[in-house]
Amino acid sequence: MKFLSFFFDLLEPFFRLGQRWLGLQRLGWLFVAPNMVVFGLFCFLPIAINFIYAGTGGVQLMPLQRPYTGAENFQILFECSNYLDLSSCRKDVFWRAIFNTLKFSVMQVSLMVLFSLLTALVLNRKIIGRGFWRGVFFYPVLLSPVVVALIWKWLLQNQGVFNAGLAAMNWPTVEWLTDAVWAFFWTVFVSIWSHMGFYTLILLAGLQAIPRDLYEAAEMDRASPWRTLTRITLPLLMPNLVVVLVLAAIRAVQIFDEVFVLTGGGPGSATTFIVQFIYQTGFAEQIHLYGLAAAASLALAGFLVLLTLVQLRLSRASELGQKGR
Amino acid sequence: MRILDFLLRTRGRGRLHWTDVLSYGYLFLGLVVMFAPVLWLLMSSFKSEAAIGQFPPTFLPYQQKTVSVAGQNKPLPLFTVTQDDGTTRQMAQISRIGIMATMVDPAVPEQTVQVNIQQRQPVNELRFAWNNYSDLFGKFTFSKYLWNSVFITVAATLLTLLFNSMAAFALSKYKFKGQKAVFLLIIATLMIPPTIILVPVFLVINQAGLLNSLWGVILPAVATPTGVFLLRQYMLTIPDELLEAARMDHASEWRIYWRIVLPLSAPALAVLAIFSVMWRWNDFLLPLIVLSRNEFFTLQLALNSFQGELNTQWHYLLAMTVITLLPVTLVFAFLQRYITTGIASAGVK
């Protein structure tokens, strides 16, 4: 505590000086300055540089030393001699990554919303120890992606508990993480396992905000539970559902850490997603193609903007829908 | 039917409905799916190197029993030997050549017997291999990784609290030109995922000379839109009259900030501190590109590089994983309510 007050006292003359110069209200600038410097350096400046990178080639890191190439990076990414055959594309891994990411997002988001809705509905019932159960589903959210991936890698390895179970029933064992179909399934499953609790929590908060008297009125009218669910709960939960849907989609498109540790993108490129493509082109391969990586991340950014616009559209629609009711 | 009635009886509210039974079924299934993998990891981390390679694996960490025999300088592994006449006898193995093992009865150490290895079964006992953990601190640069992780987490969290609360103070208690724009800019960064600006952030960190330095991971992380937003919303509820009164007493603005506003925002600061600790402890992508030299690895990076090795030493890797998830688990166990309400109210992770 003493150290703390010493530290804060140390900064005091600096702010006194600022107050004399700037006056009382404009002192606010001094208070936001550290935050804005960090944001400026590590967020706004990088956004601008990203465009420079995307428009230049070469392997130099300094933006000004890089030769201008115009749209060539995008051309390299998107050019295919035959658009119906992915392996004819110049960067077929990029196309595969996009394709995988879309497939992953659709499967993961729909299942995630379904399961977190189901869990939230169950948790919203009159159950004993709700806090405990909520914690059970939330716990994996706090684990780091690397830890999550290692937990499952340990279970799924060839000599792991899953194969032991199969062997105990005299069934042939499965190479869970080196078989393309299974590996993809497990990336979906593990990412749902580790993130579901977060969305459950948002939906639960939405469910608890629905006025009790609506349910009492429904009970008076002898509405069936199914009818109560579809006519009261779901429509009133719609705003939260939209938030969950879009947040989950934005996160799913950017999936990287867990999958990178769990499967490394393999087998082949079966579980290579778009962020891993960016990481590999920009940092992991022998020649660091920053321009190509930046172009790919701009493509990703465009897609995310699209998702956000959809969210705005949807949430406005659901608000209007509620007012109309 | 009696038993069923008894099981479905509740306090006051009549019988359990079948949907209640289904609900509890779902919850218990969830308990297994969510916790069993972590429990399995925990138990496996106590297995010795030999036990961890066994198939099929056991849940509890069994290990072969060893005995010291007079005249032998090392403890010997113990087996149950089925003799030709059908009786069994516990013997220790001295050496093994091909399918024949030289064994000795611990009670009669001078008499050795040749036994076919088909005729013996290892004697297992329940033993926790604590040395998986203790070895970590001596054998590898593990303490270094732990220190790096702790240092990054603590330093980044302290700076996050300071910077974000200062910004939040300015945004909630002053009226200056461009205030709205600043607030909007900060909120807008919520929409910019770090993955998209990965390459230029790398450039900035490189130009600042922070590559392969712990500060290269700390500094980009200390300004968080979530933190500013959370603290600003909280500080708005602190009455301005308090500040006015302090100004009457000629307190400087800085003193008002850290003597009045900061202590009053303690609950919001605590929530942000919990979040920040978890964010920084679990960070992966930024450290991955900034810290490429082994001595600067965080725990997460070390785990990743260990598991990528050709000959993964699972017994150490699992122990390391457990240590890595331990702090987060403890934070969760004690502060669950704050975390969940914090997330439910701010809608952020």
Per-block average pLDDT, block size 10, for chain A (325 residues)? 82 85 84 92 88 80 77 77 72 85 92 93 86 87 90 87 85 85 93 92 87 87 86 87 84 87 84 88 81 86 83 75 54
> Is the residue at A83 inside a domain?
no
Looking at the structure, tell me whether residues A241 and A108 fall in a common domain: yes
Say which residues have a Cβ less than 8 Å from residue A323's Cβ, sequence separation at least 6.
none
Looking at the structure, tell me whether residues A178 and A252 fall in a common domain: yes
> Is the residue at A278 inside a domain?
yes
At residue A90, what is the residue type?
Answer: R
Mean pLDDT confidence for B57-77: 76
Give the distance from residue B203's alpha carbon to the nearest chain A alpha carbon, in angstroms: 7
Looking at the structure, tell me whether residues A22 and A106 fall in a common domain: no
- Give residue A190's pLDDT: 94
Looking at the structure, tell me whether residues A268 and A174 fall in a common domain: yes
- Give residue A38's pLDDT: 92
Looking at the structure, tell me whether residues A262 and A140 fall in a common domain: yes
> Is the residue at A86 inside a domain?
no
> Is the residue at A191 inside a domain?
yes
Looking at the structure, tell me whether residues A151 and A9 fall in a common domain: no
> Is the residue at A88 inside a domain?
no
Number of domains in chain A: 2
Task: Tell whether the model's pLDDT for residue B195 goes beyond 80.
Answer: no
Mean pLDDT confidence for B284-289: 89
Q: What percent of chain B clears pLDDT 70, i.e. is strictly above it?
A: 92
Interface list for A 189-208 with B (CB within 8 A): 193, 198, 201-202, 204-205
- Give residue B297's pLDDT: 92
Identify which has the larger pLDDT, B56 or A303: A303
Looking at the structure, tell me whether residues A11 and A125 fall in a common domain: no
Say if residues A139 and B34 touch (Cβ distance below 8 Å): yes
- Give residue A325's pLDDT: 45
- Give residue A324's pLDDT: 47
Confidence of residue B15 (pLDDT cuts 50, 70, 90): low
Looking at the structure, tell me whether residues A143 and A219 fall in a common domain: yes
- Give residue A3's pLDDT: 82
Confidence of residue B333 (pLDDT cuts 50, 70, 90): confident
In this complex, how many residue pairs, one in chain A and one in chain B, have their CB atoms less than 8 Å apart? Answer: 281
Give the distance from residue A67's alpha carbon to the nearest chain B alpha carbon, in angstroms: 17
Mean pLDDT confidence for B61-85: 76
- Give residue B8's pLDDT: 61
Q: What is the CATH number of the domain that holds A114?
A: 1.10.3720.10
A114 near B CB under 8 A? no
A297 near B CB under 8 A? yes
Residues of B in contact with A135 (CB under 8 A): 332, 336, 340
Identify which has the larger pLDDT, B348 or A82: A82
> Is the residue at A68 inside a domain?
no
Q: Domain range spanning residue A16?
A: 1-44
- Interface contact flag, A147 B228, Cβ < 8 Å: no
Task: Tell whether the model's pLDDT for residue B165 goes beyond 80.
Answer: yes
- Give residue B140's pLDDT: 61
Residues of A in contact with B308 (CB under 8 A): 264
> Is the residue at A235 inside a domain?
yes
B308 near A CB under 8 A? yes
Looking at the structure, tell me whether residues A118 and A31 fall in a common domain: no
Nearest CA in chain B to A261: B304
Looking at the structure, tell me whether residues A26 and A133 fall in a common domain: no
- Give residue B1's pLDDT: 53
- Interface contact flag, B30 A50, Cβ < 8 Å: no
Q: Which of A36-50, A138-152, B177-191, B304-318 has the lowest mean pLDDT?
A: B304-318
> Is the residue at A156 inside a domain?
yes
Looking at the structure, tell me whether residues A176 and A295 fall in a common domain: yes
Query: What's the gap between Cα A226 and its chain centre?
Result: 32
Looking at the structure, tell me whether residues A103 and A27 fall in a common domain: no
